[in-house]
A and B are shown apart, each in its own frame.
Chain A
Amino acid sequence: MSTETLPAAARRGAPLRGPLRTPRRPAAPALRGTLKWLLLGVGVVVAVVPFVWMVAGSFRTEADLFANPASLLPSEWTLHGYQGIWEELPFLRLIANSFIFAGVTTVLCLVFDSMCAYALARIPFRGATLCFWLVLATLMIPFQVTLIPVFIELFDLGWLNTYHGLIVPRATSAFGIFLLRQFFLSVPRELDEAARIDGAGHLRIYARIILPLAKPALATLAVLHFMNLWNDLLWPLVMTSSTDMRTLPAGLTLFGGQHITDHAVLLAGATISLLPLALAFALAQKYFVAGVATTGLK
């Protein structure tokens, strides 16, 4: 994934023109185009139907759900799902806690991951490769078996039931380091060297050259991290015991019972929980698909 296979023009870091356009495949038959869109259409339907069911289901009564299982839309509409969420949960506090947890941790992750990735991709120091492999190796153990050791560790540190105990252990991610390292490797080194000639040190190269060019990767990572943390049920529940620190997933689980489930409320909760993520994704879209022209994963 370095630039050595690129012809000279690209290696000079010449501005690649506009949005990179893949040339049309020569003389593609109309049939193939139609087939492609047909398949995409099927894909869209398959991707969308469960969501429609979920959102519609949040407006359906229990009776309707069981009486008309084959229908996608409600026969009788009810707001009981959303009312239930509002009335039975300390909703604003849950959302606030979720934002604090997911938001702060994501920002820290972006900073620390990118710094570490920069080191592994750009700074030639002994032990870098071993470092990278060790980081990668931490992804290979299911977190369920480290749950108890971490719990005991936080207990020994006195970090249980605190915000820093909740956030700091999650403030970096091996996946993020891996992803960003691959991205950073594809940034033409000529840009680094030009900066170095001007007297820039690592910090400036990192902040002014590498990071801006890696926007798509950073945006992708931000969305993925935020999403994982937003949806994380187990970690906050195990590491904190105060009800004031509860996050949204914990609140939503109150509605799915061992015996009885109020589906409208459950689905309403799921729909509401989805909204910030949809927003984050929409915001990030313009970074991770458009700007890739100047530096991509090569």
Chain B
Amino acid sequence: MSAHATSLSSAPSAAAGSAAPGGRRGRRRPSAAAAGWLFAAPSLTILGVFVAWPIVQSFRYSLYDWRIGAKVQEWVGLGNYAALVEERLFWNALRVTLVFSAVSVVAQMVLGYAAAAALQRDSWLTKAVRSVFFFPTVVALATIGLVWRFLLDPNIGLLGGVVEWLGGEPVAWLQDPDLALPTVIAVSVWKNLGFTMIILLAGLKGVPAHLYEAAALDGAQGWQVTRHVTLPSIRPTLLLAAVMLTVSSLQVFDLVYVMTKGGPLNTTDTLVTMLVREGFEYFDIGYASAVAWALFIIILLASALQMRFFRYNDVD
């Protein structure tokens, strides 16, 4: 079990353990650090200059009533954060974001796994179906949003038309405050399912056949095999997928923005749609940055929790 735990935090030390024997013959041992930094240098430089530094800047902005182009910025310290805590729309956005994430991540993990498992074998049919499932991921979000808005329009949409043809009443999916969020979640899952499926598929492909053979010999069937052999073997993959999905779904913006812009009645207003509104419609960059940093803390917590879950969850 500890082997899997090494995947994220102690891999280098494990690697050090196994590299040592060969290292004595090579000449790189003293320059391991140099080699390491050298290999990582281009990426780290770019990330440092163009991603990390602006992130630090955005934190700085959050401490001011930051207005773009102003000669002197007004210091407010934690004022933006205090305002945030009192803002009803912030708590609403937080709720919406958490619900969105929780539901869509779980749905994608479950459905993604099901699809990957069902399509493991390499036949022309499964490859074709995999392509079909992956396709939604590839299309631009703006287009997807437009297409789905059309399909879901209660008056002129395809879905409504089909429902009517079947004798029912068309549903106002995106106009009803109770239905809008579930609908957006469903479209998001639809779009990202292929991505999850591909990652989990790659993991499944790596499970050695003999593990299944051993399980079969023990008389294990179906769900037992999944629970005791497959899932534990792909735990690192599950972790990768879960963390990436969570990190990105907590920051969902484009899809929601194109489909509902946060409405109706703020029922699909996520933290990022809120901060984009604050920053670019109301020009309150400091406050928007504060929202972003509040979100950062949430994402950090969520990721840490997931690491813990996947690390210590003894399934077998």
Contacts and interface: CB of A to CB of B under 8 A. Distances in A.
B35 interface: yes
Contact of A134 (B52, B61, B143): B52
A1 B6 contact: yes
A96 interface: no
Contact of A175 (B49, B156, B244): B244
Query: Main SS of the interface on chain A?
Result: helix
A143 to B, nearest CB: 9
Interface in B239-256: 240, 244, 247, 251, 253
Interface in A284-298: 285, 288-290, 292-293, 295-298
Contacts of B140: 231, 233, 249, 270, 273
A150 interface: yes
A231 B139 CA distance: 8
A36 B115 CA distance: 10
A209 interface: no
A169 interface: yes
B51 A124 contact: no
Interface in B4-26: 4, 6-16, 18-19, 21-23, 25-26
A43 interface: yes
What range describes how many residues of B lie at the interface? Answer: 35 or more
20 contacts: A5-B233, A7-B210, A25-B225, A57-B150, A70-B164, A112-B42, A115-B42, A116-B40, A119-B35, A135-B43, A138-B52, A140-B303, A146-B57, A146-B58, A149-B58, A172-B46, A178-B244, A206-B39, A231-B140, A298-B236
B121 interface: yes
B251 A69 contact: no
Interface stretch (B77-85, B99-107, B175-183, B287-295): B287-295
B201 interface: yes
A69 B161 contact: yes
Q: Which 3 A-B pairs have the closest CB atoms?
A: A296-B206, A70-B161, A125-B36
B130 A1 contact: no
A197 B22 CA distance: 6
Interface string B32-47: 1101111110111011
A217 B292 CA distance: 31
Nearest to B144: A50
B304 to A, nearest CB: 10
Contacts of A178: 240, 244
A19 B205 CA distance: 9
B142 interface: yes
What range describes how many residues of A lie at the interface? Answer: 35 or more
Contacts of A179: 240
Given A142-B292, A178-B240, A202-B35, A298 B206 contact: yes
Instruction: Report which residue of B129, B206, B236, B253 has the largest number of chain A beta carbons within 10 angstroms of its beta carbon.
Output: B206
Nearest to B187: A50
A10 B208 contact: yes
Nearest to B222: A25
Nearest to A273: B140
Contact of A1 (B4, B28, B150, B222): B4
B202 A217 contact: yes
Contacts of A141: 55, 58, 292-293, 295-296
Instruction: Report which residue of A70, A174, A216, A295 has the largest number of chain B beta carbons within 10 angstroms of its beta carbon.
Output: A70
Contacts of A70: 158, 160-162, 164-165
A47 B292 contact: no
Contacts of B164: 70
A274 to B, nearest CB: 6
B171 interface: no
A270 B139 contact: yes
A63 to B, nearest CB: 12
A22 B212 CA distance: 7
A230 B52 CA distance: 24
Instruction: Report which residue of A123, A178, A206 has the largest number of chain B beta carbons within 10 angstroms of its beta carbon.
Output: A123
B150 A53 contact: yes
B205 A292 contact: yes
B276 interface: yes
Contacts of A216: 202
Nearest to A125: B36
B244 A26 contact: no
Contacts of A118: 39
Contacts of A146: 51, 54-55, 57-58
Contact of A289 (B21, B201, B207, B279): B201
